[in-house]
Structure 1
Amino acid sequence: MAKRSVHRRARKILGEDPVALVWCEIPGPIPKPPKEIHRAAGKGRLAPGHHWLLYVGGALFFFIVIPMMLVDKLGGRIDRPLGPQSSPDRREPRRSTPQPARGPRQVFDGDWNLTAGQLLLNWYGRSPNPKRLVLLTSDRICLAASPGRRLSPAKADDFHLTEQFSTREAHIEAETGQPRGFAAFRLRFPDGSWLELGRLADPEDADHFLRTTADGGSRGTR
């Protein structure tokens, strides 16, 4: 469950206690929009920023871990005794059954001129952090984010509102009983556009959020 500091911050920026809240992400990369539409929206970033420690970890893995693995593997080959037992296996490789190609997951309806598309064009411009806190009140659906590039943004208590919609401007579609790790919900708008959000953090918050939205506990849900 979200920390008390998160709930205190939520109460402060909303002016009331939320009916439900959950940390989530866009469950896939934002597709590349047409150049003219991206330019008209200010050419904002379409991918999240990363904490500097992630870059340091990647560099250490590339320059230290991989060379050590290669040296260890080479040493094993040198130490292997010569003879009939060390001859390579000449059996034909097992042919695997071809798998159908899967395209990237569709994260919105595809129309960049509608509400969901315009929201995506400014998604990381308002915060480079991939995590968003979705907060429900009796008459609003609010999105908040931490401005910093935290390694654990779900524990942040410095988040601010990035978007908010009245229950006339948006509603949430969700189902309970979704498999853990794959649960998602959709934010739908009156113009027919939609945005999918997933990778829900904290099982307790996620379950309560999905129950609330599926049961219509907030007037912004269906």
Structure 2
Amino acid sequence: MTAGEVPPARDLFGEPVPVPARRFTAKLAHTLIADGEGFVTREVVELAVTLEGLPGDRHAGFARAADSRVPWYPRGTPIRNARQVSLVAPDELAEIARRLGLAQIRPEWIGANLVIEGVARLTGLPPGTRLHFPDGAALVVEGPNAPCRHAGASVAAQTGQASAELGFAKVAKGLRGLVAWVERAGTLTAGSKLEVRVPEQTIWTP
């Protein structure tokens, strides 16, 4: 256990006590797509999602090539694409901007697809959390989106602050948002409500 980490609650038999499942509503504030040449997304009114992700988006597809995020496979190996959709929260982007000394970081600068409002600590949502949208579309959270130099380079280009290229990855850990994959096809409409279903959680200890 690392310094500062809170030990899991345990029952009378010494077993970890599960954190109960939760459901609550949030708001899909903005929808964006990366259908151009580069990393930056553009805002649209709605996104049609399929089991392959967002048609036309640079991260669409059932499979993707293994990269530095999955070093246990040879680079380029086809693997399941669990990074079809990128989600961010306005409050977390504001905190990253504050740490970098910037007035703002816009979601499109770092390739976000969905901007979610009303979720405390969005990046902390556990894998397996499901996001259900009004017409039946559903996403499953794969995990946090690790900050990278590509996003930092984009922030630096947009703001003219060269130090952001390397600084972004240092200050955005735990705030960069999430990646998710499409479990059920449908339409995601900006301004609509969604239901967040957080699964029961038990901290695993050997």
TM-score range, shorter chain: under 0.3
Structure index of larger Rg:
1
Q: TM-score, normalised by structure 1?
A: 0.23
Where is the helix percentage greater, Structure 1 or Structure 2? 1
Q: TM-score, normalised by structure 2?
A: 0.24
